[in-house]
């Protein structure tokens, strides 16, 4: 005799049919199949009708409906126990809705979902009830390859129509443990594609530049059917990097989207050991999350590494990378050359004096200008894609020959090592140097017979020097540089690039001085450098002074005034002729001309007769109480005599008169944090000559 069909069997049969349909959908979509036993806790009015519920859900996950938003279809079964042992209601449901990923980190993920559908309720001796069903759920998931396990708290609400209105049939909180399987995931390969990287030649001399500026690019293509998230791109050159460096990160890449990533990297300075063109392997690795799983793709390529001396002239400022002012060999030779020459000669500009000394030292070393027919700046400066060869300063010293770029780099390196700001001057097919004078335009007009051979730009005074004319002497090289500059200006194709500004883009690098160990021993001795400098300075002084002196004496002969006499005295003083200067200041001071008396104090100060200097400074200040230079002279003399309280008082007086002028002597204020100039003997010994 056939067994009667119970309500439970009907509900179960319905659930099986719905499950088969759901599983078929999951298979067709290649998506996720999940099964979750669940426990239901009735809430609200339902808690008075039901004690508890148990059941199971079968889900089919649909990937990426819209961006990160996925979808799910659920077949559910719940057996709800009625109060007072009145029986059990069996509920089957079919619903669907969106799934939103909330958090992904490695194998852990959290998502939220909502569903809307319909349910059928079966109870003994009652016809089935069909009505709407809604639910919401969170999943805290641990991914284990193709399988995953999730804790799934949620809320179910079943509706029923009663007496013409819709009300809650059963509502409650649910807790489930969801086991999921993603078809094909365990064997599926990442579908993100990395195109062949486009790599430009790598130039070791500017390797620091590539830390922030690209030397190539690579295109990524998201071949996944879903949006990928937490994309991280790493770049690695095994031979010259300690480990991979992250060069790009972005939160998401849509399905089918492409992204071009610039390639940057800071290589170790061992790359400066490359003396011939080389090829090295690079690795690009992209990691990302897709469908709550961490994936990774790698692509290799070959990077062409040029010689450490190689450069292209698409940007003239690149030469700054070769100006190695901090190279120990350059520092030693440059500073020894300045020490050898003493402090004689023109004192109107320390940078002018050092520029002449550095030129004399390199000239006596015997470096010859030689054009390399295979690598000439003249030929290659107008061909931006062609590779030129530039020597580092220690190499030029070692070889004793160089092209215009080599000799310009060497001279600028010497001057920068001495703290003098330099610049590259470029004209069509040529490069040479300039250095900044520590003079204003007005001061330059007072000490040079003519400023035609100087460059005045943006308030700075530059002196151009033809770096290749070492054998011709400083004055001839200066004249050549000025002529070339003026010719380029007339044609509108001149360029002046301060090295320190260029360093902000192309930081200097230097090769080990150990590669050129005998450079120091071959450098000319102090006597030879000093003699060459003295000869050049004497010729310059006679040339310039004769013109300037003649002009002032002519004016004095026509009408002698204390101001004109004082100007003649300052001219002598600035050229180091202190005896003539003192005699002329004495004549000007007979009329109690305060600037001349102040200048007499300067001479005593230079002679370290601080008491004598103090007397002159106080006399000048008494004549003109608003004379800031005289007040500063009083403060400086007291400071050198160890009278610090008086020095501070005099400094405060000067500060009231002219705060800007006093600012340079802040160490006199008694503030220990402003002691920089006090600890610099050269700065403390320097004086400023007053013309009017």
The tokens for 78 are: 């719940």
Whether 434 has a pLDDT exceeding 50, the answer reads yes
Phi, psi of 549 (to 5 degrees): -65, -45
Give the list of residues 6+ apart from residue 274 with CB closer than 8 angstroms, or none: 204, 305, 306, 307, 308
Question: Can you give the pLDDT at residue 683?
Answer: 72
Better-scored residue on pLDDT, 598 or 681: 598
Measured CA to CA, the distance from residue 466 to residue 476 in angstroms comes to 8
Whether 652 has a pLDDT exceeding 60, the answer reads yes
Kindly report, residue by residue over 257-283, the tens digit of the pLDDT: 999 999 999 999 999 999 999 999 999
Whether 519 has a pLDDT exceeding 70, the answer reads yes
Whether 23 has a pLDDT exceeding 60, the answer reads no
Please state the three-class secondary structure of 313-327 as a single string: CCCHHHHHHHCCCCC
Q: In which band, very low, low, confident or very high, does the pLDDT at 515 lie, cut at 50, 70 and 90? A: low
Whether 574 has a pLDDT exceeding 80, the answer reads yes
Better-scored residue on pLDDT, 483 or 164: 483
Q: What residues pair up with 37 in beta bridges, in sequence order?
A: 56
Closest among 235, 251, 252 to 243, alpha carbons compared: 235
Phi, psi of 89 (to 5 degrees): -100, 130
Q: pLDDT above 90 covers what percent of the chain?
A: 58
- For 209-290, strand residue ranges (E) read 216-222, 228-236, 245-253, 258-262, 278-290
Question: Can you give the pLDDT at residue 224?
Answer: 86
Kindly report, residue by residue over 157-166, the tens digit of the pLDDT: 988 877 667 7
Whether 29 has a pLDDT exceeding 50, the answer reads no
Kindly report, residue by residue over 576-610, the tens digit of the pLDDT: 889 999 999 999 999 999 999 999 999 999 999 99
Q: In which band, very low, low, confident or very high, does the pLDDT at 321 lie, cut at 50, 70 and 90? A: very high
Whether 2 has a pLDDT exceeding 50, the answer reads no
Question: Can you give the pLDDT at residue 28?
Answer: 41
Question: Can you give the pLDDT at residue 4?
Answer: 45
The tokens for 260 are: 């071009």
Measured CA to CA, the distance from residue 44 to residue 215 in angstroms comes to 66
Closest among 134, 180, 168 to 154, alpha carbons compared: 134
Measured CA to CA, the distance from residue 199 to residue 14 in angstroms comes to 62
Choose the weakest-confidence range: 199-213, 253-267, 365-379, 640-654. 365-379
Question: Can you give the pLDDT at residue 5?
Answer: 44
Task: Give kind and range of the element (H or E) at residue 464.
Answer: strand 460-465
Measured CA to CA, the distance from residue 190 to residue 178 in angstroms comes to 25
Better-scored residue on pLDDT, 450 or 670: 450
Kindly report, residue by residue over 333-358, the tens digit of the pLDDT: 999 888 866 655 556 888 999 999 99
User: What's the mean pLDDT when you consider all of the chain?
Assistant: 87
Measured CA to CA, the distance from residue 183 to residue 203 in angstroms comes to 49
What is the C-alpha end-to-end distance of the chain, expressed in Å? 133
Closest among 200, 226, 210, 394 to 302, alpha carbons compared: 200
pTM assigned to the model? 0.70
Measured CA to CA, the distance from residue 510 to residue 513 in angstroms comes to 8
Whether 122 has a pLDDT exceeding 50, the answer reads yes
Distance of CA 479 to the CA centre of its chain: 39
Question: Can you give the pLDDT at residue 394?
Answer: 93
Question: Can you give the pLDDT at residue 1?
Answer: 38
The CA–CA distances, whole Å, from 654 to 590, 611, 628, 629, 650 equal 25, 19, 5, 8, 6
130 three-class SS: strand
Kindly report, residue by residue over 165-186, the tens digit of the pLDDT: 778 888 999 999 999 887 655 5
Task: Give kind and range of the element (H or E) at residue 92.
Answer: strand 88-105
Domain annotation for the chain: domains and CATH numbers: 7-182 (2.40.160.20), 192-305 (2.60.40.10), 313-527 (3.10.620), 560-685 (1.25.40.10)
Closest among 324, 316, 298, 303 to 416, alpha carbons compared: 324
Closest among 228, 231, 223 to 248, alpha carbons compared: 231
409 three-class SS: helix
């Amino acid at each position: 005799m056939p067994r009667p069909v119970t309500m439970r069997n009907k509900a179960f049969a319905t659930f099986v049919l719905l499950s088969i349909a759901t599983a078929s959908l999951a298979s067709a979509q290649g998506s996720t199949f999940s099964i979750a036993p669940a426990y239901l806790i009735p809430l609200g009015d339902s808690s008075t009708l039901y004690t508890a519920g148990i059941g199971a859900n079968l889900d089919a996950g649909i990937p990426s409906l819209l961006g990160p938003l996925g979808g799910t279809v659920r077949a559910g079964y719940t057996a709800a126990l009625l109060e007072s042992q009145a029986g059990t209601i069996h509920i089957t449901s079919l619903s669907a809705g969106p799934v939103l990923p909330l958090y992904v980190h490695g194998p852990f993920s959290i998502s939220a979902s909502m569903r809307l559908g319909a349910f059928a309720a079966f109870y003994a001796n009652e016809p089935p009830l069909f009505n709407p069903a809604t639910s919401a759920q969170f999943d805290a998931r641990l991914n284990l390859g193709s399988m995953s396990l999730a804790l799934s708290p949620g809320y179910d609400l079943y509706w029923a129509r009663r007496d013409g209105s819709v009300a809650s049939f059963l509502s409650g909180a649910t807790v489930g443990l969801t086991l999921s399987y993603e078809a094909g995931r365990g064997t599926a390969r990442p579908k993100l594609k990395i195109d062949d990287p486009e790599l430009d030649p790598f130039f070791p001399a500017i390797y620091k530049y590539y830390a922030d500026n690209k030397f190539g690019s690579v295109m990524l293509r998201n071949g996944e059917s879903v949006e990928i998230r937490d994309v991280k791109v790493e770049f690695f050159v095994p031979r010259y990097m300690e480990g991979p460096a992250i060069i790009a990160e972005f939160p998401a890449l849509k399905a089918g989207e492409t992204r071009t990533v610039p390639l940057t990297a800071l290589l170790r300075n061992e790359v400066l050991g490359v003396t011939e063109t080389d090829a090295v392997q690079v690795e690009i690795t992209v990691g990302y999350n897709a469908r709550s799983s961490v994936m990774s793709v790698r692509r290799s390529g070959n990077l062409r590494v040029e010689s450490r001396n190689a450069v292209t002239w698409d940007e003239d400022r690149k030469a700054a990378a070769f100006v190695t002012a901090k190279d120990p060999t350059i520092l030693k030779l440059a500073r020894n050359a300045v020490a050898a020459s003493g402090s004689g000669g023109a004192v109107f500009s320390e940078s002018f004096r050092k520029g002449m000394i550095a030129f004399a030292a390199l000239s006596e070393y015997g470096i010859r200008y030689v054009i390399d027919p295979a690598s000439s700046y003249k030929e290659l400066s107008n061909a931006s894609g062609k590779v030129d060869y530039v020597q580092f300063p220690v190499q030029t010293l070692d070889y004793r020959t160089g092209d215009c770029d080599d000799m310009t780099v060497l001279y600028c390196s010497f001057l920068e090592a001495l703290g003098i700001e330099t610049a590259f001057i470029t004209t069509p097919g040529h490069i040479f140097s300039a250095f900044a004078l520590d003079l204003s335009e007005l001061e330059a007009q007072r000490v040079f017979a003519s400023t035609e051979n100087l460059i005045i730009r943006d308030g700075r005074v530059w002196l151009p020097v033809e770096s290749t004319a070492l054998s011709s002497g400083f004055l001839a090289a200066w004249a050549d540089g000025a002529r070339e500059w003026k010719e380029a200006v007339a044609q509108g194709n001149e360029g002046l690039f301060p090295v320190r500004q260029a360093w902000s883009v192309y930081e200097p690098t230097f090769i080990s001085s150990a590669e050129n160990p005998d450079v120091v021993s071959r450098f000319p001795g102090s006597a030879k450098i000093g003699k060459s400098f003295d000869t050049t300075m004497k010729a310059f002084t006679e040339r310039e002074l004769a013109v300037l002196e003649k002009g002032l004496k002519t004016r004095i002969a026509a009408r002698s005034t204390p101001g004109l006499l004082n100007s003649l005295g300052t001219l002598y003083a600035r050229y180091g002729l202190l005896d003539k200067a003192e005699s002329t200041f004495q004549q000007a001071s007979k009329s109690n001309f305060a600037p001349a008396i102040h200048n007499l104090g300067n001479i005593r100060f230079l002679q370290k007769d601080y008491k004598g200097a103090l007397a002159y400074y106080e006399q000048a200040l008494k004549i003109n109480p608003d004379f800031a230079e005289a007040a500063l002279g009083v403060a400086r003399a007291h400071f050198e005599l160890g009278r610090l309280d008086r020095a501070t008082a005099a400094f405060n007086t000067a500060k009231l008169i002219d705060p800007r002028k006093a600012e340079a002597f802040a160490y006199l204020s008694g503030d220990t944090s402003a002691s920089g100039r006090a600890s610099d003997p050269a700065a403390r010994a320097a004086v400023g000559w007053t013309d009017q």
